[in-house]
Chain A
Amino acid sequence: MQLEALYVAQPALTAQAPILAIAVPLIGACAAALAPSGRAGWMISVVAAMVSAWMALAVAGEVMREGVILYQLGGFAPPAGIALRVDAMGALIALLIGAVGTLAAVFSGHSLAAEVRPEKHTLFQAGFLLAQAGMVGLVYTGDAFNAFVFLEVSSIGTYALVAAGERRDRRALPAAFNYLIMGTIGATFYVIGVGFLYGATGTLNMADMAARLGTLDQNAAVQAGFAFIVAGLGVKAAMFPLHGWLPGAYAHGPSLISLFLAATATKAAIYLMARFLFEVFPDGAAFGDMFLQWVLAPLGAAAVIVCSLQAVFARELRRMIAFSSVAQVGFIFLGFSLANASGLSAALFYMTAHGLMKAAMFMALGGLAISIGARRLEDFAGVAREAPWTAVAFGIGAASLVGTPLTMGFLAKWQIMEAALAGGRIWIFAVMAAGSVLTLVYVGRIIEVMFFREPAPGAPRAKESPVGVLVPLLILAGLSLWFGIDASLPQQLAQAGAASLFEVRP
């Protein structure tokens, strides 16, 4: 599919699409909070998420036609005013957020009823929409401080949403607390870093900042700012070893939140980090290269190996997948550490692939959670017989996670590995291969239990997910497959995004 040829909205609407992709879920959140019933809240949520995704698609088409889009807020030109600045990379991630958000909203109809107290539903939907608006805003904005604001918008609500999982699993509460503390520290570090950069450059607009930072790479404040921003976003992105909050938050929160966060939250933070690493900070600054070479690459490798091993030995299924998410972030950072367009493009593609596959896996588990409140891996024995469609969708996600050919995950791993070889980083290549084998081991365990083992006698019987869950679930799984066969849509955005960032660099 060629995005250039994609006109999904009238020109007048397309011109406003970037802001509408943020504002509609924002207003939707308020409407959901005011909604008279959980059902109404759900409908508002679905409509708002869908409109946001639609606008994101319009933006993506426009970006492919016009290149970078600037949208001035308040009618003031940057750097005085705030501007949204959407390049292909942002368009891709926002599209991922929009798509997963819409499907998750549809899914939430059944999932919330099973997992969250009924009186909380409207506020829950409101929090969910706020998180979505925040993430899209974070991705679209071209302003460093505005990014902080949206970072907070996207996280503050989700802390409580994770805690709302307490109805099913009391451990959601300490997990949410950890998440809150770590997330707040991360955001604070980020804003301290932005403060230093502002002190050194006098501007908050990223492009302007980049221009003015050009000769400042020896400045102590800039260096410290770099360290704070990277560490802060590292927490948000679950960069090893700052990932402590993630497994608990994903494992114990409600399914809707696990799936939405796993698919998008870390991606948005990683995206912002890429903006800083490759766009804002000075070209070839010694600290930037040192960071990529000696910090990001080893930490990514450590994440791949250590967290994959943790996933191998995890006893609870959702925890296993959560650890896997940290390991996958490691893969993405390995792609970044190559510091070239093909590595970045591959990493972006990987982010999209991982978002879709993890969303499918968590959604499938959410579908199963409606009928069985299972946690341990053994509890899922033989679910494939009782809930074949759900299990198959999970299996497709898992296959993509492993990197089975004809899934998106394969192409993603392929690209990073190819880029690593082309960049002469044999060791990264080797780590990726080893990580893939470890992934195979734990996914193999899950598949073996789900598909080939007999259910334990007396264990609760799983039921096939209701249609409202099955439809978005199969769409997600289908996307993982479809993009495994024809990856042109994410691929063109990833490539254009990486190219536009590295165009700046000689």
Chain B
Amino acid sequence: MNGGELLILLALTLPLFAAAMIYAVGRMPDVRETLTLVACIGLAIVAISIFVRVGQGDPPALTVAEPLPGLAIAFRVEPLGALFAVMASVLWGVNSLFSIGYMRGRREARQTRFYICFALAMFGVMGIAFAANLFTLFLFYEALTFVTYPLVTHAGTPAARRAGRVYLVTLVGASVLLFLPGIIGVQSMAGSTTFTPGGLLNGRVDAAAGSVLLLLLVFGAAKAALMPLHGWLPSAMVAPAPVSALLHAVAVVKAGVFAVLKVSAYIFGPDLISTLPAATWILWMAAGSIVIASLVALTKDDLKTRLAWSTVSQLAYVTSAAMLPMASGLVAGGLHMVFHAVAKITLFMCAGAIYVATGANRVSEIGGLGRRMPWVFVAFLAASFAIVGLPPMAAMWSKFLLITASFGSGEWFTAAALIASSLLSLVFLMPVAFRALFSPAGDGAGGEFVRPGGTPVTSLVALCVTAAACVVLFVAVEPLADYLAPIAAVSFMETAP
């Protein structure tokens, strides 16, 4: 077994091992959480090593089993997956840090199960990130659905159970009825489902069959929450804040758009995408999603729900990036996936921090709160800047690239939707931070913290780190873009503005 195989194996088994260990020491909270953090750090190191190897042109690969000829459980890392893995593993660590404060602060029940499911979710994410073919991706994608189900229903209330049912029915239903048939279609057209640079199906299907497959696969990845399959995401917000932060800003939804990007880049390829009418339809639906979700977000008073609708909108950015008939769209989509994740996890952690400290979860309740929780709201402001796409935040670049690509490929409608949504997010996010920081008096100005001492310090550290990351990545965008360039099978510089 060579180093690459070992690394992949480690990335997959580490979370499993962590889950088992957490189960074993579940009665000792301190040990349990130390263990979680150690696992996070270990996984991040493994993911970064893989990331580096991919950058050096030595992508690790591993075949686990081949149940049927042409149908293998296999892994092969490419830049997008490496980036996804690094992002998820690092943010897992940050989020675990946050969770410790949050879960203890809220005195939540079933904390051991919570940490176990998180570790298992990471197992799913690593599998998705490194999958060498659609079948493997599907396996881990489904596993992710099931291990996150207990997290969504964590509260155990009837509302949580209802949300859990919506979650399961939407995701599994879409998988079975759309995604899986799509995969079988690919298998029967191409004889395999291996992710191939330049597109597996390129040159093997006609426009009609290709369109059907594209529709099946893009809508089947319901985790990407493309309208009209977005309903589960806002309803899943009944889960505790760390769950929303990691899963509904990072792991689960990003697994969805990651699948869409992979399908676009490796199953269809930019050349084929540009000839498929369905790509244009999806593009329009994504543009519609972007605008509509932004508008809905505007009407929501519940902070987490507002953020969730914003996520729906931002995910549609990535989907539209994947559908643009232009190679640079993929790079922009990949970058946006990461930058949005960092920004959105910050926002959710801020929301969680506010909730744990004050019990407030509505926008209307936080006027003047910024005086007492300055760090939280500064971080919130920074992340809001990122979502809107203002400098000096990294997300500016991805948005910029995306809008340029839309213009470049003549998709005026999409470009207009992107700009409109940026303006809308300015309207629904900025007032939150502004109201808290600058309004002299409001509901939140006086009174005591629900939890003595306000936001737990670990949570505070976590959200500051990610807020800072938004800024740091602004500077680091070019190497990242170069790193991702191979997925579009073209050099980044050729198409860069």
A positions within 8 Å CB-CB of B: 404-406, 411, 414-415, 417-419, 421-422, 429, 433-434, 436-437, 440, 483-487, 491
Contacts and interface: CB of A to CB of B under 8 A. Distances in A.
Contacts of B431: none
A436 B187 contact: no
Contacts of B176: 433, 436-437, 440
B181 A418 contact: no
Nearest to B180: A433
A437 B173 contact: yes
Contact of B67 (A437, A440, A484): A484
B142 interface: yes
6 contacts: A404-B142, A411-B67, A414-B71, A417-B184, A419-B188, A487-B67
A415 B172 CA distance: 20
Given A485-B65, A486-B67, A422 B188 contact: yes
Contacts of B180: 433
B221 to A, nearest CB: 16
A418 B188 CA distance: 6
Nearest to B139: A405
B423 interface: no
Contact of B68 (A404, A415, A421, A440): A415
B185 A421 contact: yes
B181 A487 contact: no
Interface in B61-102: 65-69, 71, 73
A292 B274 CA distance: 41
B68 A406 contact: no
Interface string B295-327: 000000000000000000000000000000000
B6 interface: no
A429 B68 CA distance: 20
Nearest to A492: B69
Contacts of A418: 184, 187-188
B151 to A, nearest CB: 15
B138 interface: yes
B188 A485 contact: no
A429 B189 CA distance: 14
B188 A433 contact: no
Interface size class of B (residues with CB under 8 A): 20 to 34
A484 B68 CA distance: 9
Taking chain B's interface residues, is the majority helix, strand, or loop, or is none over half, making it mixed? Answer: helix
Interface in B122-150: 135, 138-139, 142
A421 B65 contact: no
Given A418-B184, A491-B68, A406 B139 contact: yes
B145 to A, nearest CB: 12
A421 B184 contact: yes
A418 B180 CA distance: 11
Contacts of B71: 411, 414
Contacts of A484: 67
B177 A433 contact: yes
Nearest to A349: B68
A437 B168 CA distance: 13
A73 B139 CA distance: 50
A58 B147 CA distance: 43
Contacts of B142: 404-405
B205 to A, nearest CB: 12
Interface string B222-257: 000000000000000000000000000000000000
A419 B187 CA distance: 10
In this complex, which of A414, A418, A487 has the most chain B Cβ atoms within 10 angstroms of its Cβ? A418
Given A419-B188, A433-B177, A486-B67, 19 more contacts: A405-B139, A405-B142, A411-B67, A417-B184, A418-B184, A418-B187, A418-B188, A421-B184, A429-B184, A433-B181, A434-B177, A437-B176, A440-B172, A484-B67, A485-B65, A485-B67, A487-B67, A487-B68, A491-B69
Interface in B273-292: none
Nearest to A423: B188
Contacts of B73: 485
A414 B139 contact: no
Nearest to A342: B188
B217 to A, nearest CB: 14
A34 B71 CA distance: 51
Nearest to A432: B181
Contact of A405 (B66, B69, B138, B187): B138
A277 to B, nearest CB: 24
Max chain A CB contacts within 10 Å: which of B66, B139, B181? B181
A125 B184 CA distance: 44
Contacts of B188: 418-419, 421-422
Contacts of A411: 67-68, 71
Contacts of B67: 411, 483-487
A111 B172 CA distance: 37
B229 to A, nearest CB: 15
Nearest to B187: A418
Nearest to B140: A405
B123 to A, nearest CB: 14
Contacts of A487: 67-68
Interface string B326-368: 0000000000000000000000000000000000000000000
A421 B183 CA distance: 11
Contacts of A429: 181, 184
A491 B65 CA distance: 15
Contacts of B185: 421
A414 B177 contact: no
A111 to B, nearest CB: 32
Contacts of A440: 172, 176
B138 A414 contact: no
A324 B403 CA distance: 52
Interface string B161-173: 0000000000011
Nearest to A416: B184
A182 B127 CA distance: 51
Given A405-B138, A405-B139, A486-B67, A437 B184 contact: no
Contacts of B189: 421
A256 B67 CA distance: 31
Contacts of A405: 135, 138-139, 142
A52 to B, nearest CB: 28
B138 to A, nearest CB: 7
B181 A486 contact: no
A419 B71 CA distance: 14
A421 B71 CA distance: 16
A417 B181 contact: yes
B243 to A, nearest CB: 19
Nearest to B146: A404
A374 to B, nearest CB: 25
Nearest to B183: A414
Interface in B379-433: none
Nearest to B212: A426
A486 B65 contact: yes
A486 B73 CA distance: 10
Nearest to B143: A405
B294 to A, nearest CB: 33
Contacts of A417: 181, 184
Contacts of A485: 65, 67, 73
A180 B188 CA distance: 43
B177 A437 contact: yes
A405 B139 CA distance: 6
Nearest to B67: A487
Contacts of B68: 411, 414-415, 487, 491
A437 B177 CA distance: 7
A170 to B, nearest CB: 38
B28 to A, nearest CB: 25
Nearest to A421: B188
A404 B175 CA distance: 11
A145 B188 CA distance: 40
B241 to A, nearest CB: 25
A490 to B, nearest CB: 10
A418 B185 CA distance: 7
Contacts of A491: 68-69
Contacts of B139: 405-406
